[in-house]
Amino acid sequence: MSKLLCIIILYSNLCASTKIVNLNGEWIVSEDTNQYKNMKATVPGGIYSDLMNNGIIGDIFYGNNDVELKWIQNLNWVYYKNVSISSEFLNQENVNLIFEGLDTFSSIIVNGNKVGSSENMFVQYIFDIKKYLNVGINEIEVHFSSPVKVAKKLHEEQSKNYTIPPTCPPLEYNGECHVNMIRKMQSSFAWDWGPSFPSVGIWKNVYIEAYNDSVIRYVVSDVIDKDTDHWTLNVDIYMANNNKNQVTGRLKVDLETNLMNITKIIEVNGKPDENGEIMITIDMDILKGYVNSWWPNGYGASKLYNFDVTYVNEDKSDISIKKSRIGFRKIELVQEKLDLGLTFYFKVNDVPIFMKGTNEIPIDILPEKGQNKTRVKQLLIAAHASHINMIRVWGGGVYESDYFYELTSELGILIWQDFMFACAMYPTTDSYLKNVVEEVRHQVRRLYSHSSLAVFSGNNENEGALRQNWYNTAQNYSTYHEDYVKLYITTIKSEFLRITHNRGIFITSSPTNGKKSDSENYVAENPGSSLYGDVHFYNYILNPFNTNFYPTPRFSSEYGYQSLPSLQSWFTVTNNTEDTSINSIFMNHRQHHPLGNLELKALLLYFFDVPEESNKYFNEAFIYYTQIAQAFAVKIETEHYRSCRSSLEENGEGYTMGALYWQLNDVWVAPSWSSIDYLGRWKMLQYHSMEFFAPVIVTSRLKVDRILEIYLISDLPSPLMNLTISITVYNWNSCQPVNVENLTKTIESGSSQNIKTYNTDDYLSALGCGTLSSARTNCFFYLSVTKNEVKVSPDNFVFPDALKDSNITTAHVKIDDIRKISDAGVFIIEISTDQIALFVWLESLDIRGNFSENGFLMVQPKRVVFFNSEEQTSNDYLLKTITITHLLNQKYFTNE
């Protein structure tokens, strides 16, 4: 066969390729002593979904089901399926049963023969089953053991030597113990934002593959900036065959570019190793002129090019294809010496980039539901709309679905990928480490090529936990330290660097001091130092509306405040109105963060007069107020970090180059740090993040001596000239400004600049706002940036005093009209007010959708907002069901 002919045949699928029998879909599940038997099951899936679908249990998210359904976790469950196999299929030389994900401990039986077992949720299991299959019907069984019991048993064994803490989570979590002993989603035994549902099941695709010669298992591609004219595409192709037969054939790589396809063909002739695996490397130089560079969100298009790798064996009877898309970009993590400390920032294509982003917890507490593309897409599209260019996939969850990483690559959202170890010490027995190596191999080979992947981190907070003795490890520090190095450095980092040819970016923990931690035997004296690496910063005691108490780290990778989800979301988990009170037993049950509800109350008191508990709108108002406090506090903290990108203080702090707030999403309806609740509803924080992460912002710092500094900040790659910064002062009693001061400024690319400083009291009292001590209660600042009368940043504001101490005139805010303006379901909402109104908040009670802005200040009597409806609806229906409120809504403060 000529080469041309084979390629034609190959692409018209006439050549024989790897054959697949898909085992997804309907299975049968039974409890192993037949208390529950022969129930229909769905694969991919899990036991909680199956029990719900069979009506054995109700909605796991309802009421107290998180504790009432604990019987499920102690049982063992067996999944069964019959599959018909043809003689043609079985004739192939290699026949494998492949589970992309088994959660977690199982034995796999084919026609009565045990073919293997699983012990790690994050590993892909491949079992050679050729000799166990028959032509005709075959029975496959997967026997799952209770993960809670296995974890306990492993803990008992380990404790004969020494204990690996923490043994149990705080009581408030209502969680399970010893999750650190097993390789399963660490938060499936509960977390401070989530319930315990230690699922078992086949949570990803399962199928049988058959082929004669060899298959391509993984294609790991890496883009290298070779010289000014060329990229090098380094491609490692991992091939496998069970019989360890010589692999002799042809590999073809095909890259689409702007001009033409670049193709390279190489002959393969090699012998697989003892695992039946062989790796072939192909390098291709690509002229930079042929491709556009890939850029993060906000810096240019995130262009991806189709890239196919095809294997054809010697007699052309067998082919295997892997398709992917790759982007051309260079990513660096820069840790360079400063007078004090080291920098810590990312450069993409040589441009230093301030990372604006968030932390992602698992998409769902049930891992199979986290594979839902609609859910992934809703979250990532929302993040993209907020100008987010980095998401940290947090180490207590799961390595997310292929789709998650494909979409982040498409949207220009870089990924900070933790390995799945969080808030614990971990074992280092030989079998445990062997298990971890399998996990690292599979996950790094699966994920590394995605253009969005920027950095891998060994764990979440374990460097700090060890150094600061969170789990009473101090007495035996050297043992735990040795374990730490063995796991994250000798095992994970080594394997990661081997796979990535020492090119991958790896930090050991988050937070960490980076290179400084490495030089201190991987556990720094102070892992939370502001002079090195990243920090996680939380404080629920001090006034969050005061910019002065926030640290000025190089990179803030976690910070945040809690709030409550909306009433509509609460009513999916209770039908009792009393449960929605912050003082209810139910709300206390759902709050896993110790003292969390008290902290929420205390937070509000810094700023607001909270309605009386006897007020009939108290629950609704309290929820709304927590969302204001969360949005406002995270906004102030984020703007603080952004304002510190260009300067170094005398104590060496500064050059802050990242702000990833905690947390994007939720896994149930509960008090939490999320900006989007479990039902997908946006909290006020989500709306505000679209503004505080905007490319150009104007913001302020109110210093302790009441000196007000105004900052202009730009993330844009080129300077902006001749901007008009309008600094308007309003008295709370009028929509007519007291004063407007216009400044003309130029802002350099990627910089933060102090453009004006005021003595607040002098300035406001001179404008007639009142005496030196009362002026700040009567007036506030309103900031906007325009160029040739066109806005280039969201408007901002400065409250010179706490709102509860300010002399605010009560507003009356209402919706005047709602009209559909496009067939795509966009409605215009006309709003009016008779006074300046604060945190004006719209909610669509019935129809799902999002507003163009929400939680905003109204300084003018009229404003329009757009509503993007996700469902069919009418003007009249929306007029009836969309509600509007604001900070000093009279109904919260009168008792009628």
Ligand X SMILES: *[C@@H]1O[C@H](CO)[C@@H](O)[C@H](O)[C@H]1NC(C)=O
Distance CA 38, CA 53 (A): 13
Among 26, 68, 139, 578, binds ligand X (CB under 6 A): 139
Nearer Cβ to ligand X, position 234 or 778?
Answer: 778
Altogether, the residues listed in the chain come to a count of 896
Please name the residues in contact with 26: beta carbons below 8 A apart, sequence gap of 6 or more: 40, 41, 42, 43, 81
**Per the structure block, which two tokens stand in for 188?**
């499936």
| H-helix segments, 644-721 | 684-692
Q: Is 742 in the site for ligand X (CB under 6 A)?
A: yes
Q: Is 137 in the site for ligand X (CB under 6 A)?
A: yes
Q: Is 809 in the site for ligand X (CB under 6 A)?
A: yes
- Say if residues 418 and 454 touch (Cβ distance below 8 Å): no
Q: How far is the CB of 816 from ligand X (least distance, A)?
A: 25
- State the residue for tokens 């939370």: 528
- Considering only residues 844 through 863, tell me which ones interact with ligand X, judged by CB under 6 A: none
Q: How far is the CB of 828 from ligand X (least distance, A)?
A: 24
Nearer Cβ to ligand X, position 74 or 809?
Answer: 809
Q: Is 721 in the site for ligand X (CB under 6 A)?
A: yes
Distance CA 864, CA 757 (A): 33
Binding piece for ligand X, criterion CB under 6 A, among 301-309, 530-538, 657-665, 838-846: 301-309
Give residue 495's identity as a one-letter amino acid code. E
- Considering only residues 514 through 553, tell me which ones interact with ligand X, judged by CB under 6 A: none
Nearer Cβ to ligand X, position 189 or 218?
Answer: 218
Distance CA 493, CA 497 (A): 6
Nearer Cβ to ligand X, position 134 or 651?
Answer: 134
Hey, how many other C-beta atoms are within 10 angstroms of the C-beta on 50? Answer: 25
Helix or strand or coil: residue 699?
strand
Q: How far is the CB of 724 from ligand X (least distance, A)?
A: 4
Q: Are strands 277-287 and 305-313 parallel, antiparallel or unpaired?
A: unpaired
Cα–Cα distances in Å, from 604 out to 298, 544, 578, 797?
34, 10, 21, 19
**Per the structure block, which two tokens stand in for 792?**
């280039």
Distance CA 157, CA 432 (A): 13
Per-residue string for binding with ligand X, 471-490, x by CB under 6 A? Answer: --------x-----------
**Per the structure block, which two tokens stand in for 134?**
């028959």
**Cα of 786 vs its chain's centroid, Å:** 33
Q: How far is the CB of 427 from ligand X (least distance, A)?
A: 9
- Considering only residues 6 through 25, tell me which ones interact with ligand X, judged by CB under 6 A: 16
Per-residue string for binding with ligand X, 564-603, x by CB under 6 A? Answer: -----------x----------------------------
Nearer Cβ to ligand X, position 286 or 604?
Answer: 286
Q: How far is the CB of 356 from ligand X (least distance, A)?
A: 26
Q: Is 691 a catalytic residue?
A: no
Q: How far is the CB of 879 from ligand X (least distance, A)?
A: 27
- Considering only residues 74 through 133, tell me which ones interact with ligand X, judged by CB under 6 A: 80-82, 91-93
Per-residue string for binding with ligand X, 363-402, x by CB under 6 A? Answer: ---------x-xx---------------------------
Among 307, 448, 484, 496, binds ligand X (CB under 6 A): 307
- What residues are paired with 97 via a beta bridge? 127, 208
Nearer Cβ to ligand X, position 165 or 652?
Answer: 165
Q: How far is the CB of 584 from ligand X (least distance, A)?
A: 15
Q: How far is the CB of 170 from ligand X (least distance, A)?
A: 27
Distance CA 64, CA 586 (A): 8
Among candidate residues 808, 809, 705, the one with its CA nearest the CA of residue 762: 705
Distance CA 686, CA 663 (A): 10
Nearer Cβ to ligand X, position 575 or 874?
Answer: 575
- Cis before 352 (ω within 30): no
- Considering only residues 32 through 71, tell me which ones interact with ligand X, judged by CB under 6 A: 62
Distance CA 475, CA 469 (A): 9
Among 526, 724, 751, 810, binds ligand X (CB under 6 A): 724
| CA angle centred on 558, ends 198 and 652, rounded to 5° | 150
Q: How far is the CB of 677 from ligand X (least distance, A)?
A: 12
Binding piece for ligand X, criterion CB under 6 A, among 252-260, 545-553, 558-566, 639-647: 252-260
Sign of CA dihedral 731, 691, 801, 602: positive
Task: Fill in the DSSP letter of residue 625.
Answer: H
Nearer Cβ to ligand X, position 308 or 520?
Answer: 308
Q: Which residues of 411-420 are buried (b: 16+ CB within 10 A; e: fewer)?
A: bbbbbbbbbb
DSSP count for the chain of H helices, then E strands: 20, 47
Among 116, 300, 504, 770, binds ligand X (CB under 6 A): 770
**Per the structure block, which two tokens stand in for 70?**
């604990």
- Say if residues 840 and 813 touch (Cβ distance below 8 Å): yes
Q: Is 461 a catalytic residue?
A: yes
Among 9, 21, 28, 485, binds ligand X (CB under 6 A): 28
Size of the site for ligand X (CB under 6 A): 42
Distance CA 682, CA 566 (A): 9
CA distance from start to end of the chain: 88
**Per the structure block, which two tokens stand in for 383?**
């993040």
Among 212, 526, 759, 832, binds ligand X (CB under 6 A): 212
Give residue 66's identity as a one-letter amino acid code. D
Side-chain half-sphere exposure of 239, counting CA atoms within 13 A = 35
Nearer Cβ to ligand X, position 462 or 765?
Answer: 765
Distance CA 46, CA 49 (A): 6
State the catalytic residue, choosing from 558, 620, 637, 639.
558
- Considering only residues 422 through 481, tell me which ones interact with ligand X, judged by CB under 6 A: 429, 479
Q: How far is the CB of 161 from ligand X (least distance, A)?
A: 4
Per-residue string for binding with ligand X, 774-793, x by CB under 6 A? Answer: x---x-------x--x----
Nearer Cβ to ligand X, position 717 or 770?
Answer: 770
- Say if residues 699 and 637 touch (Cβ distance below 8 Å): no
Q: How far is the CB of 256 from ligand X (least distance, A)?
A: 4
Please name the residues in contact with 675: beta carbons below 8 A apart, sequence gap of 6 or more: 358, 661, 663, 664, 682, 683, 685, 686, 689
Q: Is 688 in the site for ligand X (CB under 6 A)?
A: no
State the catalytic residue, choosing from 406, 461, 637, 843.
461
Spatial strand order of the sheet with 39-43 comes to 39-43, 25-31, 77-85, 136-144, 105-110, 113-119
Binding piece for ligand X, criterion CB under 6 A, among 146-154, 384-392, 434-442, 718-726: 718-726
- What residues are paired with 287 via a beta bridge? 230
Task: Fill in the DSSP letter of residue 729.
Answer: E
Nearer Cβ to ligand X, position 461 or 801?
Answer: 801
- Say if residues 230 and 257 touch (Cβ distance below 8 Å): no
Q: How far is the CB of 332 from ligand X (least distance, A)?
A: 28
Q: How far is the CB of 316 from ligand X (least distance, A)?
A: 9
Binding piece for ligand X, criterion CB under 6 A, among 184-192, 244-252, 717-725, 865-873: 717-725
| CA angle centred on 260, ends 257 and 264, rounded to 5° | 85
Among 113, 261, 651, 749, binds ligand X (CB under 6 A): 261
Binding piece for ligand X, criterion CB under 6 A, among 66-74, 146-154, 532-540, 720-728: 720-728
Nearer Cβ to ligand X, position 76 or 372?
Answer: 372
Nearer Cβ to ligand X, position 819 or 862?
Answer: 862
What are the catalytic residues? Answer: 461, 558
**Site of interaction with ligand X (CB under 6 A):** 16, 28, 62, 80-82, 91-93, 137, 139, 161-162, 212, 254-256, 261, 306-308, 317, 372, 374-375, 429, 479, 575, 721-722, 724, 726, 733, 740, 742, 770, 774, 778, 786, 789, 807, 809
